[in-house]
Amino acid sequence: MKLPWMSRADRRRWRSARTVADLGELMARWLEGAIASRPGYQPRFGPDEETAHLVPTLAALCRTGYVTTCSQPGFAGTGADGLWWEQRAAVELVVTDHTRLPRLLGAARAAGMLVRVNDHRRGGVRDEPVVVTTRDGEPVTAFGGRIGRADMAIQWTGLDRGLYDQVAHGTYVSIAAPEYGPAGERLWGVLDFLTGLRREEPDDPWTRSAG
């Protein structure tokens, strides 16, 4: 049986992080299964099984200064409830180094992705959410949108105060494929090229036309 709280060792790991690079490394290690728990997620549980194939992409993003907070693969099919579900491949992440933003946003937009930005600095951009999951054609889940103070505290509970202030005032970016289903999995190739996980640009007509 898994205990419903984070271990002391894991709490110390997260509290000891002082920089966004530290945070990104811990998030990458959680994704890879080296750490049992992370802030804002059910203790002693790793990523959902459906996202297992995304781990290399997400870990590389975290180690490159783009700390991921949520993701899902592209999917279309009958769910456990017998109804038709469709998902856009999508990821949410936080960027605190604003010199990194242009390359991320440029790569995503050049590939035709749907991009939503929420800058938590005073007077920053606040885009509306984008629907990423439907159930029998009805919206179920959206990525993006303003994160409230209470939700931010839950998402990053246990962090050093200085580091918390950085991520709480960072820029939150949601990127989703325009297509529902497996075709939208091209998103991960775009992000892999951004982080250097792959050396050749994805074979994508959007990317080629943007070049």
pLDDT exceeds 80 at position 122: no
User: What letter would DSSP give residue 183?
Assistant: G
Tokens of residue 185, six digits: 């999995």
**Tens digit of pLDDT for each residue in 9-52?**
999 999 999 999 999 999 999 999 999 999 999 999 999 999 99
Compute, in degrees rounded to 10, the torsion defined by CA atoms 176, 180, 181, 187.
-20
First to last CA, the chain: 52
Q: What is the mean pLDDT of residues 180-192?
A: 97
Q: What is the mean pLDDT of residues 141-149?
A: 91
Confidence of residue 204 (pLDDT cuts 50, 70, 90): low
Q: What is the mean pLDDT of residues 175-182?
A: 98
Q: What is the mean pLDDT of residues 203-208?
A: 51
Q: pTM for the complete prediction?
A: 0.91
Q: Which residues pair with 77 in a beta bridge?
A: 85
Please report which residue ranges of the chain form alpha helices under DSSP H.
8-16, 20-31, 55-63, 101-110, 149-155, 161-168, 186-195, 205-210
Confidence of residue 211 (pLDDT cuts 50, 70, 90): very low
Instruction: Specify burial of residue 103 (Cβ count, 10 A radius: 0-12, 13-18, 19+).
Output: exposed
Instruction: State the chain's mean pLDDT as an integer.
Output: 92
Q: What is the mean pLDDT of residues 121-134?
A: 89
Q: What is the mean pLDDT of residues 108-118?
A: 97
CA dist list (Å): 70 to 29, 54, 123, 153, 174: 15, 11, 25, 16, 9
Q: Which residues pair with 72 in a beta bridge?
A: 90
